[in-house]
Structure 1
Amino acid sequence: MSLIDQLKEQMKLAMRAKEKVRLGTIRMALAAIKQIEVDSRESLSDDQALAVLTKMVKQRRDSIAQYEAAGRDELAAAEAAEIQVLETFLPKPLSEEEIAAIIDATISEVGASTMADMGKVMGALKPKVQGRADMGAIGSLIRAKLK
């Protein structure tokens, strides 16, 4: 079953169970996916839909930080609830050891040795960890290894 089909099925279940937060979050995710499909005039693959969900989670994490800095704990809690729903559709996150192993393998795979090769490493690494790790954190780990 594709990711979009899973979202639609879970939306129906959330409607039947009257889970408002879950329903609203899934509808928002489907709307974001549909908007991209309409703009690009093509159906999204699972990887592309996963990228949309990953981006939504990142946006909500940024919002939480801003809300907490402004003392708006109720809005931060609402964003955290949405993150929990979205993360149920994302693959299991990688551990630090798994990330380190993937980075080492990718560096040797592309033959990177200096910071000038950072783009090559990131380009090769992104499809391997899409939705399972924070690319910002991975970037800093790569920088440390390529000094």
Structure 2
Amino acid sequence: MISNTIDQEIKQAMLAKNQAKLRGLRAIKAALLLARTEKGSEEVTEEAELKILQKLIKQRRESADIYTQQGRADLAVIEEEEIEVINHFLPKQMEKEEVETIIAKIITESGASSVKDMGKVMGLANKELAGKADGKLIAEIVKTQLA
């Protein structure tokens, strides 16, 4: 599990005085700790950890885009550094072509024929591609293939 590695990585980043890595690691640790202590939460699975990390990356990408639009490159760089650190703990992301092939297979197997079936296909695709591809990319490909 990711949480076991985080503490060791934090110690190494502190010793190396690597502030960018330390910020990213602390963000991961805080998000995982929050997920564990939420009221009514059960044991956080590895799949749940991956979803949390993807959410952290999505938040940082959105922030970086906003900072870039506002001409605050200094703040955008901080977000990008944290994205790099968090990406280190995610499985390697699939190429667009690989995702297209898997989605085409899912569409065929599920019998989806139009954009009306997008919800069903998205559910299956997100389940199969969890942690391996960006949700935005998956949605874009599903929409294109069903159109």
| Two-structure CA RMSD over aligned residues (Å) | 1.3
1:82 pairs with 2:50 = no
User: Matches of 2:131 and 2:36 in 1, distance apart?
Assistant: 19
Matches within 5 A, 1:1-147: 2-39=1-38, 40-147=40-147
Deviation at 1:22, TM superposition (A): 0.9
Taking structure 1 as reference, are residues 41 and 96 closer, same or farther at Cα in structure 2, changes over 3 Å only? closer
Aligned residues: 146
TM-score by length of 1: 0.92
For residues 22-42 of structure 1, the C-alpha deviation after alignment (integer angstroms, 9 at most, x for no partner) is 122111111111112111432
Paired residue secondary structure (2:42): coil
Unaligned stretches of 5+ in structure 1? none
TM-score by length of 2: 0.92
User: Matches of 2:121 and 2:108 in 1, distance apart?
Assistant: 9
Identity of aligned residues (%): 36
- Report the residue type matching 1:29 in the other structure: I
User: Matches of 1:83 and 1:4 in 2, distance apart?
Assistant: 17
Moved over 3 A (4+): none
User: Matches of 2:124 and 2:41 in 1, distance apart?
Assistant: 27
User: Matches of 1:11 and 1:109 in 2, distance apart?
Assistant: 44
